[in-house]
A and B are shown apart, each in its own frame.
Chain A
Amino acid sequence: MNMAEQSARFDLASDDVLLFLHIPKTAGLSMISLLEQQFKREEILELHSVPGQGRTEKSVVLEGLGMRSQELKQRIRLIRGHLSFGPYDTLIWRYIVQTPVVITLLRDPVERTISAYMHMRRNVVNNPGFQEKYPTILDWVKDPENAHRVVNRLTRQIVGAYFRGRRLSEGKGGLSDQALLSIAKQRLEQFPFVGLTERFQESMNLLHHTFGWDLPAEVPQINVSPTRISRFDFSSEEIEAIRERTNLDEDLYKAAEELFDRRWHAMQQKRSAASAGTD
C-alpha cells in the first residue's frame, strides 16, 4: 500500500512543485486561499486564460515567461489554474517541471454543471447575450459548442487534453470512454490529495494532514445556504440531460469518494496512533 493509503501523508521535498488542477466551480478558490498561505508570493505561478483569438490560454502566459525558464524551474513551488497536465498539455512540462505533485478538488458533476451554467448566466459582462441564447440550462447543455465545458469535464481535465495528437474535446478519434475513465481513476490514485467539494471542511483537514501543514484557525466556509440553486430547482428532463453527458464523471466521482474515505480513515488511524504514543 502506498503512503497515501497507509498514513495519508506525502513528504514534500524542497524542490517539489505542487500542481493544483483547478476544475471550475468546485470551490477551488477557497482551497487556493489556504494553499497559498503555505508558499511565498514569488513561489506561486497562476496560469489563467488570456482572452483572445487563436492560441490563447496558458501557452501565451508561459511563453512570455519562457525567457526566464531556468529561474522558473528553481523558484516555482506551486502552480495553479484551470488546466490539465500531461506530456502535451500546457507548457508546464516544457518550462517548469515534468514530475509535479498533483492535487485536485472534485465536485458532484450535476451540481458542478449547474453551478457552471449559473455562473455564466450571472456574468453578464463576460457573457453578453448568454441569457437570451440559453434561457434554460437544457439549451446550454444541448448546444454542441459547449461540449468542452459540459461533457465529462472532470474526467477529461484529469486525463489531459491530448491523445495521439488530437484534442480530446474534439470528440473524433479520441479515447474510448472506457480508456478515459480507467486512466482517470488511476490518475486519481496517483494524486497525493483529491478533495471533495461536498466535504470541503474535511477535505481541507485532509489536505493539511497530507503535507504536514498546520490547519489555520480560519478555514473558509463555502456557501451552502438553502437559497442556493441546486438540482432540485431543475426539471428531471434537465437533470437527465446533464447526467447523460456526465456519465463518466459520475463514475469517477464515486471512485473519488471511495479514495477520500480510505485516506480519511488512514489519517484517523495515524492520528490516534500518534496520540496513543504508539506511532
Chain B
Amino acid sequence: MLAGDARQLKQTSDVRRIARMAAQRPLRFGLRSRDILFFMHIPRNAGTTLFAQLETRFAENETLSLGGPNLHEFLAKSTSSQFEDCRLIRGHLDYSIYKYLPRKPVYVTMLRDPIQRVVSLYGYVRDNPEHRFHRELINSNLTLGQFIQRPEPRKIVSNEQVRMLVGLRRREAAHLSNRAMLEMAMMRLDEFAFFGLVEHFIESLKLLQFTFDWPPFEDIGALNKARTNSGSPKYEQSDLDDIRDSNELDMALYSYAKQLFAARLNVMRETIGKQPRSNPYTEQIEVIVGRKSVRTRLMGSVAVRALGKIRRQIIPEGSAYEEAYLRIRRRMTGW
C-alpha cells in the first residue's frame, strides 16, 4: 500500500491539486508578540546553517538553543514559564515540544532527501568523536551498510523525519499504521509556518524570508558540513538500496514535500510579481492628493506622472502641495 501511495503522489491530478491547495494558503505568516518560533532541527538537514541565519532575526536574550545529553530530563523538570521570554528556540526535538511551552509554537524545519541524509549521518558519526555512535563505528570498522543495521543506530536512520514530525513516543506511535504516520507527517507540512529543502537551500532561504516578511538573508556559506576526504569510499548501491528500504515513509514524505515546496515557490513568485514595486511614499501621496478630494492608489513613477497632471490642474504654484510634491518626487526619483 505504501508504494502505491508514493506512486499515487506522482499522478498529475495530485500535483495539480497540491498546487491549487498551496495557492489557497497565503504564505505570509504574521508573528504576534508572544509567539515562539521553534526550529525543529532534524539532524544532518543543514540545520546549523539555517539556525545561524534565523538567529540574525532575533535578539540574543530571546534565543534558546537546546541541546546536551540530558535534554529530556531538563524539559521534564522545566516549567513552561521558563520559556516565556524566548522568541526563537532550536533543538533536536520533535513535534511534542509544544507540551513544554507556554503556548503552541510556530514550527519551522528543513527536510532532506532521506538517502542523502543517512549517508551524511554516517560520515558525521565517522568523523566526530563526540557522537555517541562514533566509538562503535570506529572500533568495529563499520561500513555504511553495517552501520544502519546496528540496533541503536537503526533507530535514528529509519524514517527519522516522519517520526520527528509526528512527535509521538514510540509506545504511543506503536499502534499507528504506516499510512497514519505518513498522513500525520504530511499534515505537519501543511501546518508548519515554513519548511525548506536542503537540496534547494537558497530558495528555502528566500521562502523563509518571504514567509515572515524579513529582510533578505546574507550568504554565510554552509556550516557543520560532513568532511569529505578524497579517500572516502564510494557507497555500494546495495547500501543505498538498504537505506531506501528502511526509509519508505521518509521517501514518500519527501516526494510530497518537493511538490508542496515547488508549489509554494510558485505562489511566492506570483505574489512578488503582482506586487507593485514597493514605494514607501505611496501613502503620503494619497493623503496629500486626498485632501484635494482626488484619491489615487497609484504607485511609483505612475504616481509622479499623475501628480504632475493634478498639479497642473489643481495645485496652484507656490502652494504647500507643490512643495510636498517636489519633496516626494525628489525622494522617489532621486532628483
Contacts and interface: CB of A to CB of B under 8 A. Distances in A.
The yes or no verdict on A and B being binding partners is yes
A1 B97 CA distance: 10
A6 B190 CA distance: 30
Give chain B's interface residue range (CB within 8 Å of chain A).
35 or more
Contact of A97 (B25, B30, B34): B30
A88 interface: yes
A93 B25 contact: yes
A274 to B, nearest CB: 16
A66 to B, nearest CB: 11
> Of B30, B33, B84, which is in contact with the most chain A CB atoms at under 10 Å from its CB?
B30
Interface stretch (A129-137, A140-148, A177-185, A240-248): A177-185
B190 A88 contact: yes
A13 B33 contact: yes
B172 to A, nearest CB: 8
A272 interface: no
Contact of B100 (A1, A88, A190): A1
B190 A98 contact: no
A3 B21 contact: no
B20 A3 contact: no
Interface in B171-219: 175-177, 179-181, 183-184, 186-187, 190-191, 193
The main secondary structure of chain A at its interface with chain B is loop
Give chain A's interface residue range (CB within 8 Å of chain B).
35 or more
A165 B17 contact: yes
A99 B106 contact: yes
Given A1-B80, A190-B98, A179 B184 contact: yes
A1 B77 CA distance: 8
8 contacts: A2-B98, A2-B100, A14-B33, A16-B34, A164-B14, A165-B20, A178-B175, A179-B179
Interface of B: 14, 17-18, 20-21, 24-26, 29-35, 79-81, 84, 95, 98-104, 106, 167-168, 175-177, 179-181, 183-184, 186-187, 190-191, 193, 256
The 4 closest A-B pairs by CB, nearest first: A165-B21, A178-B180, A165-B17, A179-B183
Given A14-B33, A162-B21, A176-B183, 4 more contacts: A2-B80, A3-B103, A6-B80, A99-B35
